[in-house]
Structure 1
Amino acid sequence: MEKCDWKVISKFGKNAGLSGLSALAVFVSAVSSSYAANTEPVMLARVDDLASLSLESLMNIDVVSVSKRSEPLQQSPAAVFVLDSSAIIRSGVKSIPEALRLIPGLQVARLDSHTYAITARGFNSTVADKLEVLMDGRSLYTPLYSGVFWDAQDTLMEDIDRIEVIRGPGASLWGANAVNGVVNIVTKAAAKTQGGVEQIGGGGEYKGFAAWRYGGEVGELGHYRVYAKTTHYNAQEIAGAGDASDARNNDQLGFRTDLRLNDSDTLSLQGDLYKGRIANPLSNMDESTSGHNVIARWKRRYDDNSDTEIQFYYDQISRDETRTFSEDRNIYDVEVKHRFAVGERQHFVLGGGYHTTDDNIESLNPAVLKFVPAERKDETLDFFIQDQIALIENKLHLTLGAKYENNDYTGDEFQPSARFSYILNERNTAWGAVSRAVRIPNRLDHTLDIYNGALVGDESFSSEEVVAYELGYRAILSSILSTDIAIFYNEYDELRAFSGTFGVPQPEPIRIVNDGAGRTQGLELTVRWEPLPEIKVLASYVYQDMDVAAKFGSKDTNIAKNDENDPNNQFNLRVDWDVAESVSVQTRARWVDGLDDVGVKAYSALDITAIWRVSKSVELSLLGTNLLDPQHAEFSGGKEISRSLTGQFTWHF
């Protein structure tokens, strides 16, 4: 065996300028002067603005992620939160990961200009693999390592209708890998994006960005929209001082059309095409990402309680890491879902799907890393059923669900759940759940080869498992105050571990094995407060305790470090203030506990976004992020996130 760098393998085991703004300000000032002379202040946009709803109305908005059927959030038997379009637009964030920071209970840590570690309820890392993420029904999870390449996921932020997040298992409906949570990103119907919008801006972390979208009618059949955007990021910092030399850019365009074929049938078609480049100072070559996707969705409605939906999508993904590997992947997925009622007290959702992926992973440095074999095709067949039963009408509801999957890694998997909600009255709901979920193996687990066999995957590696117990309570305490609390206890088994100890020479290859077990427990609290009609406050606190260890007889000494990237405590505060009829300010503060084992100190951060609607057509905004310090680390790796000030000009036409 060739000599290898055990420090590199050990790390793998643990983690498995204002000049642009100034120019923009001159441009914005000229535009605003020309409008201000001839226009009166106008109301901030309130289209689909959930921020304008009362607390009681807000708690009764419909969500679909918990049961794949529409139901009031107040009655949902899960720890669920809905981030609406209004909050996203008011925040001024420019990426999906930054939008996820707005959601209570999620752990979002940024490493550099393009890398994020995002999860819920533990096991965070740059290759976090226990969170299922979807956009309009298309899974963003990669079969390479069961996580998400966040730098390749984008859309026009104004086109996002809502982001629904379930903290806790959702596998009985959404399948394997929905172990600790589900993020469901839903974009707006084309009818809600009519007319045009142009955006341009820059400053701080952005060299510059621009976006364009236009929507119109398709005769009498329906509506369409097309969009294009480009974003150029400046490099972040390294610890101490210096440029991380990791600047990047992303270009993307896409479309959506929604057609009403007749009184019962609708058809949606949408797709995206993207390409990005990331500077890599170690290789002096740019890493690249590219891909395209298309989604077709047909739905027939029979009555208020019954419909059938068929969805198909194709996703092509390419990635070139320049120093390690390049990947080309094709994904095909089809799902059929039928919803119906039996009597007045039972509502069923059942369906099934077929998913296939084929890849070609080329090693760019075989002596360091490769996947054996380089090409692989995998298929998954699944069936699911869920029955919502009103045991006591308008009072006690029981939801039983299960998903059966057959995959090429482990064969058959069964993932059941049982949930209840007890509606004390229209303002108070208690709920509880017991669920089982699995994280099936991936290319990394079975086919990885590092340093010519020093560390290898193992085809006998089986699914990681969790049994989760949850209790929650939602209460509208008054017309201006509400609270949502959830507690959880998760037991994990068959966790990924290693057959040997890093740091010393090994007589045989170290293999990836199922030698880990552990548990997590915690509390999640969210409070909404509206002291004045123009001021809305959202505060959240998360406490989490995690204990993971090797099973008896295991030689793995690293697995206990699984919790080193998960803070025990984090607190978030968001304040939306309509300063005037045409001016709004959103202030976001967060405090995150330190990651002592990897040398990341606890930090506080403050973000402020100010928006001024100059006229019905023109909007100016200023976004300041990480305002409390010049730079700080959020994760291990030596890179730090800089203070940033960004300006934006938006024109609606």
Structure 2
Amino acid sequence: MPKMRMQAVNTHFKHTSCRGVLPASILFMLIAPSVYAVNPQPLLLARVDDLASLSLESLMNIDVVSVSKRSEPLQQSPAAVFVLDGSTIIRSGVKSIPEALRLIPGVQVARLDSHSYAITARGFNSTVADKLEVLMDGRSLYTPLYSGVFWDAQDTLMDDIERIEVIRGPGAALWGANAVNGVVNIVTKSAANTQGGFQQAGGGGEFDGFAAWRYGGKAGALGHYRVYAKTTHYAPQESAGAGDANDARNHDQLGFRTDLQLSESDKLTLQGDLYKGRIDNPLSNKAESTSGYNVIARWKRRYDHSTDTEVQFVYDQSSRDDTQTFTEDRNIYDVDIKHRFTVGKRQNFVIGGGYHTTDDNIGSLNPAVLKFVPAARKDETVDVFAQDQIELIENKLHLTLGAKYENNDYTGDEFQPSARFSYIVDERNTVWGAVSRAVRIPNRLDHTIDIFGGILVGDENFTSEEVLAYEFGYRTLLNSVLSADVAVFYNEYDKLRSFTDDFFNPQSVPVRFVNDGAGRTQGFELTVRWEPQPAVKVLASYVYQDMDVAVKFGSRDVNIAQNNENDPNNQVNLRLDWDIADSWSVQARARWVDALDDVEVKAYSALDITSIWRLSPRVELSLVGTNLLDPQHAEFSGGNEIGRSIHGQFTWHF
């Protein structure tokens, strides 16, 4: 389980992820396909729905769902949205969701060690970053413990990801509280698109070894299914001093998905995962552990091309033990309903709501350091939302008005509206803008934590953090081989988490959490795509961000300004995909990240290169090199560094 440690940032706590081990045999995963390889399906090396194979004109017209919870062309979306397709993830050779997010412009990803990441968009980064909503197939991945994501516990088979849609900027009007700075929506492939067998194994560099196996078949006359298993053994990363960080990690996971066509109008999806992980803890000389499972049931009825209803149920169980401070057992139940319909010829409505409940039991392994009071708690949230997209000028000007109302057990009622417009100048140029309000509701940490025997405690009066966000964007297809996407943002934050006193030199104790922080972020994001030849695709991005956070007049909290220290002002990314020949492709990824001066993290450059050789239509060999420019470097504060790594892998489709 992640350890809660005080950072120099007074409003954040550093966490090191929890780990656990699910026994899995790499050897079994290598030989199992010979048992189950019945009626193998042909391998499609270039699917027509792979975004990487589309021209720029086609890419601008792909449908996205994250912005409006309904399909709409990317070119017309009134938000800073980027779609990362599954084939690009496969070509990169990355083995985890955080590393896949590095491929997305505007997402800040900083790695601390073998298992811990700080990930956000548009500021407030931390190992417990709490302003980014992350979903996978409709299941929210954030934890009610601190409103962030335990990245060590979130995994899937990378080859099963169809796409990752990312909205930079608030998405609370549809996705709810905690979608303050952005939304990450991970969509996996349908079972019909993963038929036949798949097997992968490899190792080297940061990996002591990894293996994955999947098989998909027909579920009678109604649909298709797939099952998968994977195991990943991470080698220790580097400490800032001599030697490694002694933080080796194992993660093992099983999963399934079934897609059934119950009738001409009705579809049913059932899917789930089971995982267990383990991370060596050099401080306790014990292995931290994490485990859990989840189940999703989703039913959809389509009435016509513009009207449908979808109901989804999610159950998510998780357990953690960090061996030093606390254990956690948590159950989450979510029920959501969404209905899409039209009114007349120019209005598209999406309405819906949900009921969400979570219960936990947090045990204290060292009450003098950290505990939660009470140890067990149950929380409920009820929400309703509505969005109306109005075509004010046919095929030209669209206005999108939306809002979500939530009632939660921490702050009661919350209202989160947004207004967006998009103006289609012509088929190659679109201008859009938005004004949104979003909140980050309190959590267990804010209200019930007790640190150092009551020196720092949560407060039941702590209320929601707020943001009022202004955005403006422009998309253009300059010609058939060059496109650009620009977004400018200005966010005003209020009621940010702060302390009642200087935590390191208090005049009175206990020090409590209060909402005395305020601040703003501003910046712009530029993404350029260039395809000089069908076999060569280049993506370049630049992000500038300026952030200023402080406490209100009269506060004794002197540490909140250090919120500014974890986010670089400048980031540059460059990606090249080159099909050198039918049997050989290369992806090169370079990035430069500005310094975090106040926490003494230097600016760094990194180069990753992946080369894939297709020995036959069914067999591939890959060589992946990461952080090739230096032996090791720090990406975030914390004392550990990320080392150069080269690993190989073998992939077989059967």
| Same-fold status (TM-score > 0.5) | yes
Paired residues for 1:137-152 under 5 Å: 137-152=138-153
Change (3 A) 1:372 1:92: same
Paired residues for 1:33-52 under 5 Å: 44-46=45-47, 48-52=49-53
Corresponding residue number in structure 2 for 1:64: 65
Q: Note the C-alpha offset of 1:616.
A: 1.2
Corresponding residue number in structure 2 for 1:339: 340
Contact residue 11 and residue 497 of structure 2 kept, 8 A:
no
Corresponding residue number in structure 2 for 1:13: 10
SS at match of 1:614: strand
Corresponding residue number in structure 2 for 1:326: 327
Corresponding residue number in structure 2 for 1:382: 383
SS at match of 2:355: strand
Contact residue 44 and residue 583 of structure 1 kept, 8 A:
no
Contact residue 347 and residue 387 of structure 1 kept, 8 A:
yes
Moved beyond 6 Å, runs of 4+? none
- Report the residue type matching 1:181 in the other structure: G
SS at match of 2:8: helix
- Report the residue type matching 2:193 in the other structure: K
Contact residue 210 and residue 231 of structure 1 kept, 8 A:
yes
Contact residue 9 and residue 562 of structure 2 kept, 8 A:
no
Paired residues for 1:340-359 under 5 Å: 340-359=341-360
2:107 aligned with 1:102: no
Corresponding residue number in structure 2 for 1:471: 472
Q: Note the C-alpha offset of 1:502.
A: 2.4
Q: Deviations over 1:554-602 (max 9, x none)?
A: 1110011101000000000000000101110000000000000000000
Corresponding residue number in structure 1 for 2:234: 233
Paired residues for 1:575-614 under 5 Å: 575-614=576-615
Corresponding residue number in structure 1 for 2:176: 175
SS at match of 2:616: coil
Q: Distance in 2 between matches of 1:505 and 1:466?
A: 29
Q: Deviations over 1:101-149 (max 9, x none)?
A: 0000000000000000000000000000000000000000000000000
Q: Note the C-alpha offset of 1:417.
A: 0.1
Q: Distance in 1 between matches of 2:11 and 2:637?
A: 11
Contact residue 134 and residue 141 of structure 2 kept, 8 A:
yes
Q: Percent identity?
A: 81
Q: Distance in 2 between matches of 1:503 and 1:617?
A: 60
Q: Deviations over 1:28-54 (max 9, x none)?
A: 9xxxxxxxxxxxxx9954463211111
Corresponding residue number in structure 1 for 2:526: 525
Corresponding residue number in structure 1 for 2:312: 311
Q: Note the C-alpha offset of 1:11.
A: 3.2
Corresponding residue number in structure 2 for 1:206: 207
Q: Deviations over 1:522-549 (max 9, x none)?
A: 0000000011111100000000000101
Contact residue 8 and residue 559 of structure 2 kept, 8 A:
no
Q: Distance in 1 between matches of 2:376 and 2:504?
A: 31
- Point out where structure 1 has 5 or more consecutive residues left out of the alignment: 1-6, 17-23, 29-41
Corresponding residue number in structure 1 for 2:514: 513
Contact residue 9 and residue 560 of structure 2 kept, 8 A:
no
Corresponding residue number in structure 1 for 2:245: 244
Q: Distance in 1 between matches of 2:372 and 2:504?
A: 23
Q: Note the C-alpha offset of 1:361.
A: 0.3
Corresponding residue number in structure 1 for 2:420: 419
Change (3 A) 1:335 1:68: same
Contact residue 10 and residue 503 of structure 1 kept, 8 A:
no
Corresponding residue number in structure 1 for 2:112: 111
Q: Deviations over 1:409-448 (max 9, x none)?
A: 0000000000000000011000000000000000000001
Corresponding residue number in structure 1 for 2:20: none
Q: Distance in 1 between matches of 2:153 and 2:224?
A: 27
Q: Note the C-alpha offset of 1:12.
A: 5.9
SS at match of 2:91: helix
Q: Deviations over 1:376-433 (max 9, x none)?
A: 0000000000000000010000000000000000000000000000000011000000
Q: Distance in 1 between matches of 2:96 and 2:167?
A: 20
Q: Note the C-alpha offset of 1:15.
A: 3.8
Contact residue 612 and residue 623 of structure 2 kept, 8 A:
yes
Corresponding residue number in structure 2 for 1:504: 505
- Point out where structure 2 has 5 or more consecutive residues left out of the alignment: 14-25, 31-42
Contact residue 325 and residue 363 of structure 1 kept, 8 A:
yes
Q: Deviations over 1:289-329 (max 9, x none)?
A: 00000000000000000000000010001011111110000
Change (3 A) 1:459 1:101: same
Q: Deviations over 1:63-108 (max 9, x none)?
A: 0000000000000000000000110000010000000000000000
What CA RMSD, in Å, does the superposition of the two structures yield over aligned residues? 1.4
